[in-house]
Structure 1
């Protein structure tokens, strides 16, 4: 009998579609759930900082993965990609937990800073939704050693994922004074 991982890999397109729908829907639904009214416990208040730290690690792991593959070190590249997926998964858990329990923090800046912030935020949100199927497609094609397919996916995935992870940190920096 095949294990669950083999089934997911063999049916990668269905897995990618299903995971994308679940993840994006969950994040969108969170914006419609009212947050907790009372004083939040300290562990919840620290989740945005944890999210920024996890995004920072994702960014670094992706950079290291890129450098490793440019040096033709496939094994090191794979390890950094696994690390990036791990920190991204942990980020997603933390993000969902925070936004399920707390209201979103609004940006209080004005003028040019507000314009810069909203540009970063809007592009971050759109590309974060897009990165889910791109990253999964890149991952599965690499895992299955479909080199040409993998290269086609990562030409888009790597720069966009780097952008999303970096702008996630920038969004936190912009709104951190308002927590």
Structure 2
């Protein structure tokens, strides 16, 4: 079986996604947007993150039980829910201004710790997840396992903290 070089695509996709998210963080949003209530989108983001988290937990359990086909399907489902999250996230941040956290004291410290680690690891997880799946597609099982040992816990953390960030900031929308 001939292996394919996915590295250029992984680099391009990772850079495009991370630059897009960075740029959207700095734009003011659309004035007088009335097509729908944009406040539904952060809830959708949390729901998509919840599905991603559950799919990843299922994929981890499946592979630990040597159910490779189920593992593969759940990873694909996690990619789909993550893609839907990304589309919803980009749409929200294109239309609406960023929401500031209104809490104080220890809760603000916890919120910002979770948010900052979530943001950093969300940027890191894009190339890791794409590289993991590319190695699996190329049947590079040992290399896939090596990177998946990092990818899985980080992706689980990013999806879980995405939910936590939403729950903590939702009263301020």
TM-score, normalising length: structure 2: 0.96
Q: CA deviation at 1:37?
A: 2.8
Answering whether residue 40 of structure 2 is matched by residue 16 of structure 1, we say no
CA distance in 2 between partners of 1:33 and 1:117 (Å): 23
Q: Which of 81, 98, 112 pairs up with 2:106?
A: 112
Instruction: Output aligned runs, 1:115-154, within 5 Å.
Output: 115-154=109-148
What secondary structure sits across from 2:30 in the alignment?
coil
Q: Superposition pairs for residues 17-166 of structure 1, below 5 Å?
A: 17-38=11-32, 40-166=34-160
Q: Could you list the runs of 5+ residues in structure 2 that have no partner in the other structure?
A: none
Write the distance in 1 (CA, Å) between the matches of 2:25 and 2:161: 19
3-state SS, counterpart of residue 124 of structure 1: helix
After superposition, the C-alpha distances for 1:73-117 in whole angstroms (9 at most, x for unaligned) are 000000000000000001001100000000011100000000000
For residues 39 and 68 of structure 1, the distance between their equivalents in structure 2, rounded to whole angstroms, comes to 44
| Cα distance, 1:45 vs structure 2 | 1.8
User: Could you tell me the TM-score, scaled by structure 1's length?
Assistant: 0.92
The answer to whether the Cα contact below 8 Å between 2:4 and 2:138 also exists between their aligned partners in 1 is: no
